[in-house]
């Protein structure tokens, strides 16, 4: 081969660094075929987008053919000249395919099929075939493409092409391609196992020979004829669907298969009922062979072993899925008929391809010999396992579990640990199946833990902003700043905030005023300038009784608290002798403008840039946007509160309550139990307080209370009431005697 190729000019001596492995393989005629491993070069070569022809499309063209010829081009891969300078790159598969298709383009798919360098000529009669062969050879000669005569077959009724044997009967596997299957040796993998004594018996040999014969004697698929009636056989199982496309032969009158189809059901499709699975099989089969069935010359038949499908095309009520499929079925002209399951074996076998075979237990494996002896010692083993568990721990019966929980949690040795601590203490020596939920339930119901431990939960309830005002000074908030050093005799500042424009009035006072004095101050400094407001928010001071602000929850009056912070910062930094003017002149983040400009329409000392109404609308949009942003940011740090109902018992936080105890640090964090008399709103409840708390407003925010848990494992413990914590301690006057 080397000398012949050198003399013909097909190859030449080279010292290229891109060398590849060279070897020979045997051809059908016994000669050698040269092969070069160009996989590395092909990986870095730009791929040709010209597709290879589909084998199924090629076999469709053979309908009605009786005579065949097969041509093979001589030295096909040397027929295309490589570009000058690229001789060392020799991956030339794609250019050859394009060349042969271009040469035979006017005959392609009419009576010629080309696959790389293999050419198949097919004709319905010998006279036409002779004319077709002459045309093909003439075109090849004109383009200097030469065939190898010893590999060609002319005017044959059976020809081997691309691994298949093609004849007027149909298509079947090439005997030479499946020859290796008939020579399979007996499987030896099981003989290497040390656990199973494997014996190759005559039954296994017969099954193995039968398997080999089934591989080499595959059924012959007939060519689909669009002029004859098609038959679609379908079936569905729990894991898949199968279908067979067939036609009745004119020679023997029997039904012969043309194509087969199977599909594994998805997890969602497996949930379909049996009727929808059978209908899905019809839908998938028609979609698979749509190019043959849609627009067929004769109405085709659909055979199914599910009788209810006969009425699906005439049903008046369909589900949304069935209605969608019905629109697809309207494209086809077919009749759906019932066929008994015993005759519907071909699609049934295809639908069961994906089933996992069930393991059949032998008779001796169902009832082992040890069962008889084991039954005698079951009672003894049960008694031992009930008394002692893994790791030497003791099993605790139901009647003793409350005592174990009480000892490991409430005794002085353990001092009321949390859920993890109590569980760890019990785990060292005891066990029972419901240990974890029982410990959690017991600790939650412990009254001492509920009163004396700080809650680690995030703040209760999401942020609930007050209604947004629509004009300046219609909604105001006020508060007192106390504890300031005297300045001209003044030690208190009354802060009044407009919740729309954020404008403030800082009113210096000598001392905390009474309710009447506060009302007069509001009239002189606020109402006479801006008119009466429609809504007032204050804290729970004695000067006011607010219906909007809950006890000990200053976040409700947040805007006034924020103005107080600005006032204190200004006084602390001594940046201005007029903090009210400084605050009203600076822009705020919620509206994007200063309170002065928002409420009066201009920014001192500049002229007003626009009319007051436009400023109000702009400020309202900014306020709403800021309110939404603030609520979203706050809600990330809060949790939804417990849902309280009237009559429910709760614990009350001792924070901000006037307790009289020797040590505030050792005082309980919660007291109770108190009953809810009214749910004021989703974030505030009214409690029935004892007479000792008569001066405390009974409305509290949900963050100041927590629900009471109860459990039969923990019937109750010591309760702290406000009267006990509010009693005055008694000190002895003298010691009369001692011992």
What does the pLDDT look like over 224-269, one tens digit per residue?
A: 887 889 999 999 998 899 999 998 887 778 888 888 888 999 989 9
Tell me which residue of 673, 735, 656, 680 sits closest to 708, measured CA to CA.
673
Report yes or no: 622 and 591 within 8 Å, Cβ to Cβ.
yes
pLDDT value of position 80 = 66
For 346, how many CA atoms within 13 A lie in the half-sphere containing its CB? Answer: 18
- Bridge-based pairing of strands 535-537 and 475-481 is parallel
Report yes or no: 537 and 546 within 8 Å, Cβ to Cβ.
yes
CA distances, 528 to each of 497, 524, 537, 612 (Å): 15, 6, 19, 20
Which residues have a Cβ under 8 Å from the Cβ of 98 and sit 6 or more positions away? 48, 50
CA 473, CA 489: separation in Å to the nearest integer?
30
Phi-psi label, residue 278: left if phi above 0, alpha if psi -120 to 50, beta otherwise: alpha
Burial class (CB in 10 A: 0-12, 13-18, 19+), 554: middle
Which residues have a Cβ under 8 Å from the Cβ of 514 and sit 6 or more positions away? 543
Find the DSSP H helices in 498-636.
Answer: 515-522, 528-530, 558-573, 579-585, 595-600, 612-635
CA 353, CA 260: separation in Å to the nearest integer?
13
pTM exceeding the 0.75 threshold for the entire prediction: no
Tokens found for residue 82 = 């490589």
CA 593, CA 620: separation in Å to the nearest integer?
11
Q: Same topology for domains 230-351 and 475-635, yes or no? A: yes
All structural domains of the chain with their residue ranges: 51-168, 173-186+207-219, 230-351, 376-444, 475-635, 649-726
pLDDT value of position 576 = 47
Burial 441-461 (b: 16+ CB within 10 A, else e): bbbbbbbbbbbbeeeeeebbb
φ/ψ of 736, rounded to 5, equals -80, -40
Sheet strand arrangement including 153-156: 112-115, 118-123, 67-72, 153-156
Architecture of domain 475-635: 2-Layer Sandwich (3.30)
Question: Count of residues for the chain?
Answer: 739
Average pLDDT along the chain, 739 residues, taken 10 residues at a time: 71 65 72 76 66 61 73 67 64 54 82 83 89 90 84 86 78 65 56 60 72 59 81 92 88 83 90 91 91 84 87 79 87 88 85 65 47 55 58 81 87 81 84 89 86 70 73 87 84 89 89 87 89 80 52 57 71 57 68 75 53 63 77 63 83 82 78 88 87 83 86 71 52 62
Architecture of domain 230-351: 2-Layer Sandwich (3.30)
Tokens found for residue 291 = 């190019």
Task: Report pLDDT digits (tens) over 370-393.
Answer: 554 555 556 556 655 555 565 667
pLDDT value of position 460 = 60
Report yes or no: 78 and 165 within 8 Å, Cβ to Cβ.
no
Tokens found for residue 425 = 């203490």
Whether the link from the prior residue into 605 is cis, omega within 30° of 0, is yes
Q: 649-726, which class in CATH?
A: mainly beta
Q: 51-168, which class in CATH?
A: alpha beta
Tokens found for residue 656 = 């901000």
- Bridge-based pairing of strands 164-167 and 170-173 is antiparallel
CA 287, CA 109: separation in Å to the nearest integer?
24
The total of other beta-carbon atoms located within 10 Å of residue 699's CB is: 19
pLDDT value of position 176 = 62
pLDDT value of position 719 = 64
Dihedral sign from CA coordinates of 585, 589, 593, 598: negative
Which residues have a Cβ under 8 Å from the Cβ of 624 and sit 6 or more positions away? 468
**DSSP state, 233?**
E
pLDDT value of position 358 = 52
CA 467, CA 66: separation in Å to the nearest integer?
90
Sheet strand arrangement including 230-236: 255-264, 240-248, 230-236, 300-304, 334-338
Report yes or no: 273 and 265 within 8 Å, Cβ to Cβ.
no
Q: Helix, strand or coil for residue 334?
A: strand
Residue with tokens 């000058």: 84
CA 599, CA 615: separation in Å to the nearest integer?
9
Q: What distance separates the 2 farthest-apart alpha carbons in the chain?
A: 145
Q: Which helix (H) or strand (E) holds 132?
A: helix 126-142
CA 705, CA 688: separation in Å to the nearest integer?
13
């Amino acid at each position: 081969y080397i000398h012949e190729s050198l003399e013909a000019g097909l190859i030449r001596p080279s010292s290229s660094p891109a060398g590849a492995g060279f070897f020979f393989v045997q051809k059908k005629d016994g000669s050698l075929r040269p092969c070069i491993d160009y996989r590395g070069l092909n990986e870095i070569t730009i791929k040709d987008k010209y597709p290879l022809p589909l084998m199924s499309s090629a076999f469709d063209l053979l309908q009605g053919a009786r005579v065949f010829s097969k041509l093979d081009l001589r030295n096909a891969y040397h027929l295309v000249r490589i570009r000058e300078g690229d001789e060392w790159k020799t991956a030339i598969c794609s250019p050859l395919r394009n060349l042969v298709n271009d040469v035979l383009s006017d005959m392609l798919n009419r009576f010629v099929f080309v696959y790389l360098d293999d050419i198949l000529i097919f004709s319905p009669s010998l006279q036409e075939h002779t004319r077709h062969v002459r045309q093909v050879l003439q075109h090849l000669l004109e383009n200097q493409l030469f065939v190898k005569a010893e590999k060609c077959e002319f005017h044959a009724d059976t020809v081997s092409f691309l691994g298949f044997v093609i004849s007027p009967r149909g298509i079947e596997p090439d005997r030479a391609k499946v020859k290796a299957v008939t020579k399979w040796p007996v499987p030896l993998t099981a003989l290497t196992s040390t656990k199973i004594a494997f014996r190759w018996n005559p039954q296994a040999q017969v099954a193995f020979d039968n398997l080999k014969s089934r591989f080499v004697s595959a059924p012959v698929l007939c060519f689909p004829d669009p002029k004859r009636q098609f038959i679609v056989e379908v079936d569905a199982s729990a894991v898949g669907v199968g279908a067979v496309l067939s036609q009745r032969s004119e020679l023997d009158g029997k039904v012969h298969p043309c194509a087969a189809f199977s599909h594994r059901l998805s997890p969602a499709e497996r949930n379909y009922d049996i009727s929808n699975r059978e209908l899905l099989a019809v839908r998938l089969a028609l979609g698979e062979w749509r190019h043959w069935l849609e627009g067929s010359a004769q109405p085709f038949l659909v055979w199914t072993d599910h009788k209810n499908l006969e009425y699906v095309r005439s049903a008046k009520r369909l589900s949304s899925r069935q209605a969608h499929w019905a629109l697809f079925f309207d494209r086809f002209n077919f009749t759906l008929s019932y066929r008994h399951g015993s005759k519907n074996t071909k699609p049934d076998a295809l639908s069961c391809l994906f089933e996992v075979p069930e393991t059949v237990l032998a008779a001796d494996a169902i009832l082992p010999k040890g069962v008889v002896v084991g039954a005698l010692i079951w009672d003894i083993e049960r008694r031992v396992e009930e008394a002692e568990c893994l790791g030497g721990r003791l099993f605790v019966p139901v009647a003793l579990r409350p005592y174990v929980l009480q000892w490991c949690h409430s005794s002085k040795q353990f001092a009321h640990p949390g859920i993890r601590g109590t569980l760890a203490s019990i785990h060292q020596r005891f066990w029972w199946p419901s240990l974890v939920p029982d410990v959690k339930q017991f600790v939650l119901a412990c009254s001492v833990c509920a009163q004396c431990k700080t809650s680690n939960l995030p703040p209760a309830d999401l942020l609930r902003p007050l209604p947004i005002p629509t004009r300046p000074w219609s909604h105001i908030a006020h508060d007192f700043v106390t504890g300031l050093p005297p300045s001209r005799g003044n030690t208190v500042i009354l802060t009044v905030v407009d919740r729309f424009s954020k404008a403030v009035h800082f009113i210096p006072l000598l001392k905390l005023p009474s309710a009447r004095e506060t009302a007069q101050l509001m009239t002189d400094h606020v109402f006479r300038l801006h008119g009466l407001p429609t809504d007032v928010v204050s804290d729970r001071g004695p000067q006011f009784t607010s219906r909007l602000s809950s006890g000990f929850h200053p976040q409700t009056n947040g805007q006034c608290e924020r103005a107080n912070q600005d006032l204190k910062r200004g006084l602390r930094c001594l940046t201005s002798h007029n903090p009210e003017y400084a605050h009203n002149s600076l822009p705020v983040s919620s509206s994007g403008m200063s309170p002065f400009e928002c409420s009066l329409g201009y920014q001192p000392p500049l002229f007003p840039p626009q009319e007051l109404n436009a400023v109000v609308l702009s400020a309202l949009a900014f306020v709403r946007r800021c309110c939404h942003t603030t609520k979203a940011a706050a809600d990330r740090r809060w949790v939804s509160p417990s849902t309280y109902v009237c009559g429910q018992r709760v614990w009350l936080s001792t924070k901000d309550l006037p307790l009289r105890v020797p040590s505030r640090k050792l005082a309980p964090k919660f007291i109770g139990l108190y009953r809810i008399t009214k749910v004021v709103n989703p974030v505030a409840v009214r409690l029935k307080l004892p007479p000792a708390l008569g001066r405390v407003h009974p409305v509290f925010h949900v963050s100041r209370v927590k629900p009471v848990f109860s459990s039969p494992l923990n019937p109750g413990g010591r309760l702290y009431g406000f009267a006990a914590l509010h009693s005055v301690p008694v000190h002895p006057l003298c010691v009369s005697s001692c011992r």
